Structure formats: structure tokens, C-alpha cells
Structure 1
């Protein structure tokens, strides 16, 4: 769902990783898929590893000679990295069905789909030493585990914030009402994220402003709750200037004045601030949606040993710092902040701030809020509704 940022860092990671080899073992599968069993031992490496990831997550110096955390990994492990980037979570889900990839970096709107389809394997975090350094509030969450079984290693995270033009939007907003109930004040200059998962943003707003709906989790919506969120977005639609998925387009729209208020990422504000734009961001009182990406191993990985090595390496402080700084998000490892100067801007490690974020989680029929007396609206219906909302 996100493209690589314009930020460029020069951090290079070099962490030695012991040789690993995956042996067959008993384990758990989830979601009705046919996931491979969890590994219990690690040993020899294969010669290569195929990685599917968001742009900017697997940099080997070919895009920028000063940005390379892949080469040290290859030298340390002997695993030659072959990577492919994707543009949307739907694309990643489809590509993983081919069986061509050993590792995928997936956002929460894809992870449960991958688990349910049996396309990714349970991960034994005891075999990943650097997992211990990952923030506890990112571990064993609804988007990266099932029934207590981990399916990957957290990478980076961030909130979908409210961006506004400080000249046009006064007083400074503290609520999402400026893009929903008060969107008419900025008709034709409101922007929103272009994805079915944006329906959850409407649900977050309704949780605070229509508590009688009983929404407890914006990704667990029954028919009545889902209709309310969709209706809110249909009401918002006439005021939208554009739906964006390319961060460069949002930057351009705020620089030109075509957009003055809408959802954004911290890195976009950092860029606008660097260009002296009259903009600011806020985490509104209702909270916000956000992302926490997960490194996952394919259930039919041809190089599962190198895959485990990659998960351990990319979670190490230097590698995690380099990759998340380049992309523009908070790291998952507090020690990574020893190698970054901007952790404060991303509220890295701030558990209170993180608690206000509803991280993207794939909507499924089995309500992720724990309800068993109703069926929730699944992602396929979110996708259909999003097409109707946009018109």
C-alpha cells in the first residue's frame, strides 16, 4: 500500500548470523489453509533466497550506491538475494500463490489472507535471536499471529495521520471531523487513502461519534456497522479532491493547494516540512488506523534456511534502522534508534502513542474482536463496497 520514500540514508547493516537449516517438525496451521509445520531446528544454508517486499525494503545499492543492507547479508550468510517489489497488498497476495518466493514483507491487510490460504508458515521465534529486541506491543497481535502462534517478525510501523494546510484549516484540527462531518467546509480539497482498508478509518470515527453502533474494532464490522461506515464514506465522496496511493501525488497536491486536508503518513509531512510547505499533522482524538508490516516465510519456501536467516538479520538493530529509515517509518527494534536520529518524529517505542493506532488487519468473517454471535463482513465485501464508494 505504500511506495518508497524520498528519504535516503547511508546506514549499512552487517550482523553475523549463524548457519541455519530447516528440518521437518510438528506445528500448527491456521485459518483452514495447508501451512507448513513450524521449524524446530536450524542448520545449513541454501545458496539463495527470493524475497517479495514493498519498494524500499530490500535495497542492494542498485537504486542508490549509499543504500545497501543486502550485500552485508549476502556476505555473512552466502545467501544470494533475489527480490521483487509489489505495489499493493492484493498484488502481494496473488504473487505469493505462485510459490516463487521464500519470504514476503506483508501489511496487516494481507497477512491473515496469506495465513488462511496456507501460503505462509508458522514461525518459531525461538530460532530468531533478534526477535527478542522487537517491541512487545508489536508481538503476537491479530495481524501477525493466530491462536498464539506467530507467523512472522514485525518490521516497521506507523500511523495514518491527519494532514492539513495550516493557512486554510483553522483552528488546528484535533478530530477527523474535518474530513467527515465537516468535510463540506473544504469541498473539493479533501483527500483520502485509496484502498478498501480505508473503510476502517470511517469505522474509527464512528466508534467515537456513534457509540450506539457498538464498534469495538474497526476491522470487525457486522452488517449494520459496515453499512454505517460505507454510508459515511459515500457522504464524504462529493468533497474528495482525489484518492491517493502514491505519496508523491499527495505531496504535490498539498504543495499546489489542490488538497488542504486528509489522511497521510509522517514521512509525507517530513518531506513537506523540508520544502517549507504550510502543513502540519496530528493524531486525532479518535485515534487512527496504521500499519505494522511483518516478514513472513512461504509455506513452500525453496530456501527456508536462508529465509530464517533473513528474518533474523532484518530484525537486527542496524538492518532494521537502515530499512525503516529509508522507507520512512518507526523501527520495530528500540536498539535501531541508536543508528537513527529521527525516532522521536516517528514516536518509535512510544507504547501510549502506539496504543492509539488500529493496525491494518484483514477483515474476515470470523470477527477479530472476539464476537461469536455474529458474522463479520470479510475483505471481499470491503473491496466491492470500495468500488461503489468511489463510483
Structure 2
């Protein structure tokens, strides 16, 4: 039920995306073609029909996505898949999106659970192929607001099967923070009474959180997309984070450490995930969360098939299996995220799970800006300026932390 290895989600190898000239928008449906996407993907055909399984499938996944009972005997959706399909699952757990991209480029893997910061890189480089959703029966029950999105489709073509999603939330200890916050301003206030006890996510992608906050508090900056920042907008976000550095007690990338910090009271306010909040509450820590009024950043993962997949039939069978209602529910509960299959909610062991994770709450997700990778061609559609690419986000993050 942890996300221990998703922590360094985006790193310097995002430069491979820049070299490919790839981009995308951070919200809304994607139906636009080259101009809308910012790149033209290589012409790679999708599988036309499903044939006999090849006997195995090589999977790259986040920890917790392809459990075979070795971590917990009661948590196993791999062996039932193998028994049903005859496709043996060979899983490689990846710790970062960059690792996933590099592994997929070897051509040795068939399918990958890519996050939004990796998926467009994989598409632009020709590493993954479009997906024939007609060969994935359970795709029909995927929540509509996860289909044809900027991080999983180009020019109306789906390049994967949505798996699950989550939001980055604001959490506080109710015994320490007396007035419940409703804004990210609580973690950016230079005069905060909680100085030294505030936490923030440790990644260059956190610059987007500052940009999102500035989009409402400094509208004159004209920020429309937190992943599409021109130099002026970028400088404003970086300056805000440099000021925030003075009040941050610790930056977290280790899920278990930030959980412990909130439990002990060393941290009283900051960015979190719903699963962390749930475990803190289970440990009797007096915490509460909110999706702030400015909205939040978040993630959406997609199962994608390698363009050079040696076991494409088993790969398709795996994608259909992993998003089937019962299995998608198992993964979501174990991992701590909202499932992608609308029928999964009826299969969760905790019947309040989907309400807690807002699985079917479409208005909630309209407030979440899913992670994307910044490139020089502005992802918000502007043509008259250049935006700051991710390599420079990485450099700035090093300077911010000092």
C-alpha cells in the first residue's frame, strides 16, 4: 500500500523529451494533432487483432502495481493472470520515470505503467505504440475523463490504458494548526507561525505547485498552465520557492519518513498524498487534508505497449487484466490511489474507498493538474514566447534547496 519508489518521479533525463521536441497540455481533452501536441509521433501501427499469447510478458511497473504474493501472500493478482492466460509475468520494478523511459528504450520490455511525465517522452521517441482499445474490453468502463488526455493520446489516438490517479493534497495536524487552511498560501506564508515545521515535496516538479498558487494570487503573471512557464513566470515561481525555503523544515521524498514526521509532530503542515493521510489517521495522528481552493498538482498513470514488444498479445492481455474491475480495485486499495475502472468501486473491500479517493468525482479531478514535462514550446499553446524547459527546472531546484 505504499508508493516508496515513485519518489523521484522526474529527473534530468527529461532532456530526452526536449531532444524529441515533445510536449502536451496539462489538462482537458486532446484532439488537436501536431499543433496541439507540440510534436508529430513516429508512425507506428497499433496491434490489429489479438492472437495467441506468447507465453510471457515483460513488465515495468511502479512498486505495488504487479504484486505476486512475494511481499504479502494475500496480495497477488499476477499468479491468477498467469493461470488464466498462460502468460508468465516478468516484472521489473522501476524507481523513477527516467528509469522507466530508459528501460523501455532497450526494447526488452513489453508494457510499462508510465506516469504523465514519462508517457509523452515514450510517444515522441517512438518507444511505445498506439493502443487498439478495441482489443481491451475493460477499456469501455474506464472513467471518461481519463480517456484521450494530453499525456496518453496524440491526435485522437490512445497510446495506453489508464490505470489510476491521485492528487497532491495539503495536510496539517489539527492539534497544532488551529485554523484549518484552505489555500496553499499556508505553506508559502513567509511569516508563518509554523516556520521550521512545514514540509514540501522534494522534486523539481514542485515548481509547478508554486506556479499554480501564483496563477490565482498573482493573475497579472498570466499563468494558465503550471507546466508552461515563460521566463518571467518561471522566475516568479522560483523566487517564491526560495522564500519558502526559509520556513521549510524538511523536503520529503521518502513516504515513510514524512509519515513519521507528521506522526511525531516534527511536521505540522505541508504537501501529502491521500494514502499518507490515511495511514497517519490509522496511527491516531490528528491530521486533516484538503484540496486547496487553487487546485493541486497530481498524477495519472497509463499502461503503454512497447513499439518493439516481443510479446504484444500477452501485453494486451495484461492491460485488460490489470484494469478489470476486481483487479483494478485490488491494486488501487493496495497502492493508495483512485482506480480507473468505474466498476472497480463495487469491488473494493472498503466500501467507502472510492469516496475517500474521489474515484468518480469528476468535478474534483478538474481541479487537479496532472504532472507533465515542461518544454520550450509552451504547453498552453502560446506561440509568441518560449517556455522554460525541464532541464532548467532541475537546475533551479538545486539552487532553491541550496
2:5·2:96 contact (CA, 8 Å) conserved in 1?
A: no
**What is the SS of the residue equivalent to 1:309?**
helix
> Any idea what the Cα deviations from partners look like across 1:253-290, whole Å, max 9, x if unmatched?
11112111110001111101111101110111100011
Shift of residue 84, structure 1, vs aligned partner: 1.1
Q: 1:362 aligns with which of 364, 373, 386?
A: 373
Q: 1:373 aligns with which of 381, 384, 392?
A: 384
TM-score for the superposition, normalised by structure 2: 0.88
Shift of residue 33, structure 1, vs aligned partner: 5.6
Shift of residue 180, structure 1, vs aligned partner: 0.8
- In the alignment, which residue of structure 1 is the partner of 2:120? 112
Distance of 1:170 and 1:278 partners within structure 2: 12
- In the alignment, which residue of structure 1 is the partner of 2:267? 259
Distance of 2:290 and 2:178 partners within structure 1: 13
- In the alignment, which residue of structure 1 is the partner of 2:88? 80
Distance of 1:208 and 1:181 partners within structure 2: 15
Q: 1:213 aligns with which of 211, 218, 221?
A: 221
Shift of residue 182, structure 1, vs aligned partner: 4.6
Distance of 1:33 and 1:147 partners within structure 2: 10
Q: Does 1:344 align with 2:394?
A: no
Distance of 1:183 and 1:252 partners within structure 2: 26
Shift of residue 75, structure 1, vs aligned partner: 1.1
Shift of residue 183, structure 1, vs aligned partner: 6.0
Cα gap change, 1:75 to 1:193, in 2 (>3 Å): same
Distance of 2:180 and 2:190 partners within structure 1: 14
Shift of residue 118, structure 1, vs aligned partner: 1.8
Q: How many residues are matched? A: 369
Structure 1 stretches of 5 or more lacking a match? Answer: 6-27
> Any idea what the Cα deviations from partners look like across 1:144-178, whole Å, max 9, x if unmatched?
11222211111111110001111221200010101
- In the alignment, which residue of structure 1 is the partner of 2:340? 332
Q: CA RMSD in A?
A: 1.9
2:190·2:247 contact (CA, 8 Å) conserved in 1?
A: no
2:148·2:157 contact (CA, 8 Å) conserved in 1?
A: yes
Cα gap change, 1:297 to 1:183, in 2 (>3 Å): farther
Shift of residue 320, structure 1, vs aligned partner: 0.6
> Any idea what the Cα deviations from partners look like across 1:71-128, whole Å, max 9, x if unmatched?
1111111110000111222222222222221111011111112222221111121221
Trace 1:271-286 onto structure 2 (pairs within 5 A).
Answer: 271-286=279-294
2:3·2:64 contact (CA, 8 Å) conserved in 1?
A: no
Trace 1:1-391 onto structure 2 (pairs within 5 A).
Answer: 2-3=3-4, 31=39, 34=42, 36-182=44-190, 184-340=192-348, 341=351, 342-391=353-402
1:320·1:336 contact (CA, 8 Å) conserved in 2?
A: yes
Distance of 2:57 and 2:169 partners within structure 1: 35
Structure 2 stretches of 5 or more lacking a match? Answer: 7-32
**What is the SS of the residue equivalent to 2:354?**
coil
**What is the SS of the residue equivalent to 2:73?**
coil
- In the alignment, which residue of structure 1 is the partner of 2:26? none
TM-score for the superposition, normalised by structure 1: 0.90
1:41·1:127 contact (CA, 8 Å) conserved in 2?
A: yes
